[in-house]
Amino acid sequence: MDKKRAYFPRTTGPQRRLLFETWEKTEKVTQSCQEAHVSRRTFYNWKGRFEAEGYEGLSSPRSRAPKNPPKIAKEVEEQVKKMHCEHPSWGKRRIADELAKGNGWKALVSPNTVKRILKDFGLWEMPEEKKGTKECRP
């Protein structure tokens, strides 16, 4: 027999509120989960935040995006900028490869990081622009 897995959508703020209001009244996890239509695992996932922050903490899930993305060293940014100014026809992949070659073939930056660095300096050309139109200021 082929069992199909059930799909449970993300819980809503009012649903989480109902879950913990019921739990506070009855002190029964199973009954609270049944009333709010959530699993026990969901209850225990939110329990820590509820105990720490109360009902305000249940309003929305936290972002999983990195809070402090890694930064590229200033020296590497300057190398990328210098290479682009010396060789304006090189693309992001070529610059990343040349930096890796100078570092014993260990990658310092990815091609997309090269693109981001050049965008930050205002040196990345959009497709409709002609090559070599941006000024390089070392």
Nearest to 43 by CA among 59, 60, 31: 31
Q: Averaged in consecutive runs of 10 residues, what is the pLDDT profile of the chain (138 residues)?
A: 69 92 95 93 93 91 78 91 93 94 91 93 72 61
∠ Cα 4 8 12 (to 5°): 170
The pLDDT of residue 25 is 95
**8 Å CB contact between 76 and 99:** yes
The token pair that represents 47 in the structure block:
């329990």
The pLDDT of residue 9 is 78
Backbone dihedral region of 20: left (phi > 0), alpha (psi from -120 to 50 degrees) or beta? alpha
The pLDDT of residue 63 is 79
Backbone dihedral region of 112: left (phi > 0), alpha (psi from -120 to 50 degrees) or beta? alpha
